[in-house]
């Protein structure tokens, strides 16, 4: 398919990790992609992974309403519309900090990025998708295994990821009259810089520190692309993609 058939995507957190992998997957498939992130240099590195791809790098702090407004304005100015938002930007915050020691500033930083940023981007996408012709589009929120169950010492990250599930459900309901499909992908142990420490040892609920398996981030990207390329009459409401033997189901 060509870019016109696939449409226009906005990917936040596109300068690294899952965002970079998804953006590259979409570009290779013929999507036009607005790459959003805090550092333009890393966004350009993402774009360079697919020479000739229709990419637009936009420096964006998703926690700032004016940055988000500028991101969507630049996307529409360049490409004409928005068919997909992959709401991916996020931060774990200070790792391994007990709840009683977590500073309010650290809590706010995680909430501002993971929850407020996701809301601002979804709101901007929703407004554009509602008014454009033809009407509609798709929003895919990046949840996490932590949207289901926490790791030790992860209160801010876990709280925001649980909140994203509510955001997804509410947006999905409110988007129905306008052909706006909203779903969520919950990812466990994709191999990125953010999860690098898990391969050497991660704190478990019983207090042990053990290595955890990871999966290729490309498998996550292919899953997001599958969700993105469904017709708007079909929606993956929730998908869980995880390293098969990671400690999640069962007793582990």
pLDDT of residue 151: 86
Q: Which of 126, 157, 178, 248 is catalytic?
A: 157
Per residue in 147-172, pLDDT (tens digit) is: 999 888 899 999 999 999 999 999 99
Tell me the average pLDDT of the chain: 92
Is the bond into 207 cis (omega within 30 degrees of 0)? Answer: no
The string of DSSP codes covering 65-127 is HHHHHHHHHHHHHHHS---EEEE------STT--GGG--HHHHHHHHIIIIIHHHHHHHHHHH
HSE (side-chain half, CA atoms, 13 Å) at 122: 29
d(CA 147, CA 160): 8
Q: Model pTM?
A: 0.93
Residue 178 known to be catalytic: no
Angle among Cα 167, 129, 2 to the nearest 5 degrees reads: 115
d(CA 101, CA 110): 15
Asked if 112 and 36 count as a contact pair (C-beta separation under 8 A), the reply is no
d(CA 209, CA 205): 9
Q: Does the pLDDT of residue 116 top 80, yes or no? A: yes
């Amino acid at each position: 398919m060509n870019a016109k058939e696939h449409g226009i995507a906005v990917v936040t957190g596109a300068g690294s990790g899952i965002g970079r992998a998804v953006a590259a997957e979409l570009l290779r498939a013929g999507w036009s992609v607005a790459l959003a992130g805090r550092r333009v240099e890393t966004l350009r590195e993402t774009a360079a992974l697919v020479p000739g791809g229709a990419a637009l790098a936009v420096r964006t702090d998703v926690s700032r309403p004016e940055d988000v407004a500028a991101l969507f304005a630049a996307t529409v100015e360049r490409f004409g519309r928005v068919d997909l938002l992959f709401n991916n930007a996020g931060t774990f915050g200070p790792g391994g900090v007990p709840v009683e020691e977590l500073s309010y500033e650290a809590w706010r930083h995680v909430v501002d990025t993971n929850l407020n940023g996701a809301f601002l981007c979804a709101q901007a996408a929703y407004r554009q998708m509602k008014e454009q012709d033809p009407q509609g589009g798709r929003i895919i929120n990046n949840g996490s295994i932590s949207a289901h169950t926490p790791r030790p010492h992860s209160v801010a990250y876990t709280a925001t990821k649980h909140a994203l599930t509510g955001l997804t459900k509410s947006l999905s309901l409110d988007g129905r009259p306008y052909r706006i499909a909203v779903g969520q992908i919950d990812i466990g142990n994709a191999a990125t810089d953010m999860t690098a420490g898990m391969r050497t040892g991660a704190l478990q609920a019983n207090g042990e520190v053990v290595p955890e398996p990871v999966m290729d981030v490309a498998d996550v990207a292919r899953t997001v692309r599958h969700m993105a390329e469904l017709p708007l009459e079909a929606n993956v409401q929730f998908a869980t993609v995880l390293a098969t033997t990671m400690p999640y189901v069962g007793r582990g």
